[in-house]
Amino acid sequence: MSLAPFWRYYGGKNRAAKLYPQPEHDTIIEPFAGAAGYSCRYPDRRVILVDRSPIIAGIWRYLIATPAAEILALPDIPEGGTVDDLPVCQEARWLIGFRVQNGRESPRARVSSMHKRGRSKGWTDGWHSVTRNLIASQVDLIRHWCIIEGEYHDAPNIEATWHIDPPYNNRAGRRYPEQPDDFAALGDWCRTRRGLVMVCENEGANWLPFEPLRDIISAQTAKSGARSAEVIWLNRRPRYAWGVQTGLFG
């Protein structure tokens, strides 16, 4: 079964996860975890997430370890208040801060006007009982996941399906607070991973021989309808039939 996103992160791949090759191994590794949009599509696999951001790593540690009942008991944001007013742990504040404004690169303190309107309509965005019920219904399904707070190269080089989605090497990617230090070195590292390796980027990137994937609408551009020209590098032909026609491998 596929999970709904626990939060929508800037540049996240939850909407586009179905476009990428399905996993060929019992283990999935995401060295730039973010909201783990690819792994959320295959939650029953052994999942190893890596992220250098203490905020992202903290949220995942919280979700993996927190009982569903504790998620359900998290409070609403008081009228006129902010996420910072909540008497909860910092990791919960970070999670809620991402929920109150979709597709951001960092947590926000105030609820957007759109989410205020959506609350009365039962939307699963924002922060309210519907959101808490959704998250609580899913946390037991990721107890076997693990998170490594560190650099991408701290991921163990084991036989796995690698979904590598770094901050893009363009203007959009610079919005992330955490950046790869050297994209050429990252490219060399990607080539040495064991298993099926897929690397995500945006049109114009040249630190690997990328091929076009598809234009997608991402979380941060859904309202405007703007599209992102996604490209992909694969270390080999996927074992299973792949639905996206990219021209890869002839």
Q: How far apart are CA 175 and CA 167, in angstroms?
A: 8
Write phi, then psi, for 191 (nearest 5 degrees). Answer: -65, -20
Q: In this predicted structure, what is the pLDDT of residue 250? A: 42
Q: In this predicted structure, what is the pLDDT of residue 106? A: 77
Residue 149 host element (H or E): strand 146-149
Give the mean pLDDT per block of 10 residues along the chain (250 residues). 87 76 96 95 97 96 98 93 93 94 78 56 73 97 98 97 87 57 94 97 93 68 61 92 57
Q: In this predicted structure, what is the pLDDT of residue 81? A: 87
Distances in Å between the Cα of 11 and the Cα atoms of 73, 82, 101, 132, 230 are 30, 25, 14, 23, 11
CB atoms within 10 A of CB 35: 25
Q: In this predicted structure, what is the pLDDT of residue 79? A: 85
Q: How many residues are recorded in the chain?
A: 250
Task: Classify 23 as helix, strand or coil.
Answer: coil
pTM for the predicted model, two decimal places: 0.87
User: Which string of b and e fits 52-81 if b means at least 16 CB within 10 Å?
Assistant: bbebbbbbbebbbebeeeebeebeebeeee
